[in-house]
Every structure is written in C-alpha cells, then in structure tokens.
A = this chain, B = another copy of it.
Amino acid sequence: MKVAPKALLFDVQGTATDFFATVCGEAERISAGRCEGVDWGAFVTRWRAAYFAALESATVSREAWTSVHSVYRRELDRLLDHDGIAVLGEEEREELASAWQRLTPWPDVIEGLTRLKKRFVLATLSNADVSAVVNISKRGGLPWDAVFAAEMAGAFKPDPAVYRMAAAYLGLPPGEIMMVACHKYDLRAAGALGFRTAFVARPDEFGPHGVVDVVFEDEFDINAADFLDLAGQLGC
C-alpha cells in the first residue's frame, strides 16, 4: 500500500450490517402469517433496488434534504400497492420501513472493528440518515469513533461531496483515509478522489440465492473476506 491509512470509513447498509436477513425477518414478523405466498426475499431485493433508483434521481441539498427513511417508506408503499398487498396498515408499514434503522451487524463486524479500533480512527460513511446510523450502531454495539453520513454533506454517495466532507471532518488528506465497502461503485468514487480502498466481500448481501459481485479486484488496495480478514491484513 502506498500510504498507511490513519482512519477507516465504513459503508453501513450491506458492508457492516445484514439488511436482507433483518428486513426479511421483520417483514415475516410484522405480517404474521397474513401474507402467505409473498416472497419477502424477492420483495426486499426489489425494495432495495427502488431505494437506489430513488437516490440516484434525488435532487437534494443540505437545506432541502430528503430523509432516507421517507424514501424507504414511499417505495414500500409503491411496492405493496403494485403487488396488491393490502393487509399491512399504516402503523405496520411505518414499523417495517423502520426496520432499516434496526439492521443487524454481520457476525464478524464487532470483533473486527474492536481490533481495528486500537490502531485506526473508525467512522461510518453511510447514505442512511444520521439518526438511522446512530440507532443501528447503538443497538448493535458498533464501536465507531464518529458517525458521518450523506445527510451531513447534503448529497448521496457516490457524490464526491460526501467523501470530501468526511476528509474535512477528520482533518486528514484522502490518502490517509481508507474507504471500506462491499459495493465497488462506492470504492471507485472514493478511490478517484485519492482515498485508499478496501473491498469486503458480502456474498449473502441479498440472501443465500442473491446475485452479488464478490470478485476481488487489483484496483483496490485490499480485498478481504470479512472484517476479521481486513483487520489481519491491516496488521491488527
């Protein structure tokens, strides 16, 4: 690696947490047997895709911010209506949309972060709302030194403003910061600005049957199987 990093920035939804299992489980729990025949795994995959499409087309700024919770909620309503799933009421829909604020960490995350924290500053860099990242982290015991999120930049990743905001707040040049993500578009955006990059494979991001790109690439400074492997490769 050209320069050893001083700080690591982590994607949260997908990289640090298993949204698929969490949100599917919450859909099963909240629907409580009233949605027989619904494939919640396929539903959550479409929900996540709708979220990505909404973020790409969102026109936001710090002054006119669209909360990610409201995006998940709106796309949930559209999908339920499209599929003719009418049994979920207002409060249940709100509870299901809020499942994205209760995401469970992958099994390797807490031990990996605890080892990495001894040597590096650890912060999030998430497109989720600040409050969602705080809730997820407190619930899951994720030991960040700081929480940074797109909301603080008034733009969503992969907009350069998000990565630059984190570098400014850390008081470090991009070359001393490593972006950690399971999404290559996120790493490529950070890398283009001079950040170091670490790809972490999350083959189950969309469940046991999901299609996920987990191919290691030479373009990244590190390719890791999980956070324990990442810690090992960084000497922790």
Contacts and interface: CB of A to CB of B under 8 A. Distances in A.
Copies in the complex: 2
A214 to B, nearest CB: 31
A151 interface: yes
A80 B183 CA distance: 51
Nearest to A133: B146
A121 interface: yes
Nearest to A137: B145
A130 interface: yes
Nearest to A151: B169
User: What is the interface residue range for chain A against chain B?
Assistant: 10 to 19
B131 A171 contact: yes
A34 interface: no
A60 interface: no
A55 interface: no
Interface string A148-180: 000110000000000000000111100000000
Interface of A: 62, 121, 123, 129-131, 134, 137-138, 145-147, 151-152, 169-172
Given A62-B62, A131-B171, 14 more contacts: A121-B134, A121-B138, A123-B134, A130-B169, A130-B170, A130-B171, A131-B170, A131-B172, A134-B169, A137-B145, A145-B147, A146-B146, A147-B147, A151-B169
